[in-house]
Amino acid sequence: MAQKDIGNKTPLHELKTTEQVMKYYDEWSKNNKYNKDMFEWEYSGPKETSETLSKYQNNKDIKIYDAGCGSGLVGIELKKYGFNYFDGGDISKELLNQVPDNLYNKLEQIDLNKKIDKEDNFYDVVMCVGTFTFAHVKAHALDEFVRITKKNGLICFTINEAIYINYGFKSKIESLVDNKKIKEIKLFKSNYLASKDVNAWLGLYKVL
């Protein structure tokens, strides 16, 4: 797959550190450019994941954690599907400042490559949309998502197809399945950012 420059300056796949990623999104968020770009590029990840979750989760009062929530695009979609309670965290303070008021219960600035400051088995669902990509959140974060999700809870995520194998996501998921930590419910190719020739795997897994 071609590695397109889908951002504002430097191509995402050239970023190397967490600090670079944070600065990148802080800059991208200025003048609402990030949200405008996502709309113009027909970014479908938030809608596709929320729609997929809604097909397998009827209880709308569950606790959801939106890992890498950015400006709240996933939260907006979750609300459309009737979900009422979600927390969010993101590395970019500037994007968090653009989250619509009263959409999330709690928001926090967080580096998802580190241990998440949440109790074990705390959330019914963890969503992670758009952060498993070049120079962003690494595959080991899935261990933390499993840890903070209740037994029989769900994890719903997207993974940029260009990093799915080479960055260890496929092997990490297979290991979690083999060790009976999670069970696959759905795994399919998402449209994601088709307008930019960027596709992703969309996964929905049950925590065992």
User: Tell me, what's the pLDDT at 148?
Assistant: 98
31: amino acid identity, one letter: N
At residue 172, φ and ψ (nearest 5 deg) are: -65, -45
Distance CA 37, CA 130 (A): 14
The CATH number of residue 52's host domain is 3.40.50.150
In a domain, 25, yes or no: yes
In a domain, 5, yes or no: no
* Residue 110 reports pLDDT greater than 90: yes
In a domain, 69, yes or no: yes
* Residue 7 reports pLDDT greater than 70: no
Overall domain count for the chain:
1
* Residue 76 reports pLDDT greater than 80: yes
Q: With pLDDT > 70 as the criterion, what percentage of the chain qualifies?
A: 91
User: Tell me, what's the pLDDT at 15?
Assistant: 66
Under the banding of pLDDT at 50, 70 and 90, the label for residue 41 is confident
User: Tell me, what's the pLDDT at 10?
Assistant: 47
Under DSSP, is residue 23 helix (H, G, I), strand (E, B) or coil? helix
In a domain, 3, yes or no: no
Query: pLDDT for 144-180, tens place per residue?
Result: 999 999 999 999 999 999 999 999 999 999 999 999 9
In a domain, 4, yes or no: no
In a domain, 7, yes or no: no
Supply the pTM of this predicted model. 0.89
Distance CA 21, CA 12 (A): 8
Domain of residue 145, residue span: 12-207
User: Tell me, what's the pLDDT at 106?
Assistant: 97
In a domain, 133, yes or no: yes
- Average pLDDT (127-156) is 95
In a domain, 142, yes or no: yes
Q: By the 8 A CB rule, do 111 and 92 touch?
A: no
Question: What DSSP string describes 5-20?
Answer: --SSSS-GGG--SHHH
